[in-house]
Structure 1
């Protein structure tokens, strides 16, 4: 489940970043020109959200149970934000196209730009971005549902004192000594021969 969650998170982040770079719409202007809107024009926040989802998937590789729950909630919020950002871009072509139209024509002001707009031909990429946002929400729910079932992180992420305390708490004696454990104890400032 852990591998599925991590790989799935990376794939979703990649999908969001890909959608951000693709053409989202072709806008015909009354002047006869055509403006191509990319995801970076239509939904500039998508890049930051995709990078956040990428960092989140990477953080899952080391996260403990509590942190996994926090990351799952954040992933769901990222997904909701992606859907909202993309839906806003789709609902308001004039606002979405305004920066690109201003750059091409020099016309500013929302009413002036709206007067220049003709037909808007949307591509499939905004829909793919919305699907990516939905997948983020599902990914967050999956991580939340399975967070407690993932195997523990390796012992290399725990201090030697924590390992001994865990062994005593679980009813066992001190963990057996080995070269790696002794080295870790020395690194932590403890004398492994004092036990």
Structure 2
């Protein structure tokens, strides 16, 4: 299992981030109105303003985690865990009792009314769809993946030689240079044909 730890963690991050991005464009809340007008549909990004940016950040962390060194793995794991907790709290609120504030902007735009009293009068109910539950499951996966990263990061195999710094590469190199190594040496200003090395 530890051999595949990196892959499992990266997939957990990418899955959660992708579900977050997809769900941000889907209907999270349906606002039923007392004036018998059509219900208002509120997308995830409007209901939870941090949804899209944090989902993008999770995708970026997942991509970076695939090549990160030990210290960065711990940092990325902590950042992802913090993001997961924030998203879990926000999504839980919308799923189990959406506040009027989550729909206030959409209702105000649709009706021209402002102020809590006017909004309370026109809003009969705010009903969550299935998307907040789907997103909540994704945040749970993200939290588990983050804890898994923190627990196993030190035991992961190191990235390939192309992701090491030049000083690390010099210490770990044994044997003749291949074409990729030669190009890397040239890009660092070193002549790979210098026999004094």
The verdict on a shared fold, with TM-score over 0.5 as the criterion, is yes
Distance verdict in 2 for CA 1:182–1:18, change over 3 Å: closer
Which consecutive residues of structure 2, in runs of 5 or more, have no partner in the other structure? none
Structure 1 residue 141: deviation in Å? 0.5
- The correspondence for 1:87, drawn from 89, 92, 117, is 92
> TM-score when scaled to structure 2?
0.86
Aligned pair count reads 188
> TM-score when scaled to structure 1?
0.87
CA contact (8 A) 2:14 2:62 kept: yes
Q: Does 1:5 align with 2:6?
A: no
Q: Does 1:63 align with 2:68?
A: yes
1:179 aligned partner: 178
Which consecutive residues of structure 1, in runs of 5 or more, have no partner in the other structure? 168-174
SS in 1 for 2:100: helix
1:189 aligned partner: 189
CA contact (8 A) 2:45 2:51 kept: yes
SS in 2 for 1:193: coil
- The correspondence for 1:125, drawn from 125, 131, 150, is 131
1:171 aligned partner: none
> Which moved further from structure 2: 39-48 or 18-27?
18-27
SS in 2 for 1:87: helix
Distance verdict in 2 for CA 1:53–1:32, change over 3 Å: same
- The correspondence for 1:25, drawn from 24, 29, 40, is 29
Report the Cα distance in structure 1 between the residues aligned to 2:40 and 2:78, rounded to whole angstroms.
38
- The correspondence for 1:46, drawn from 28, 51, 54, is 51
1:170 aligned partner: none
RMSD: 1.9
Q: CA-to-partner distance for each residue in 1:141-189, whole Å, 9 max, x for gaps?
A: 011112112211111223454333346xxxxxxx222233344333322
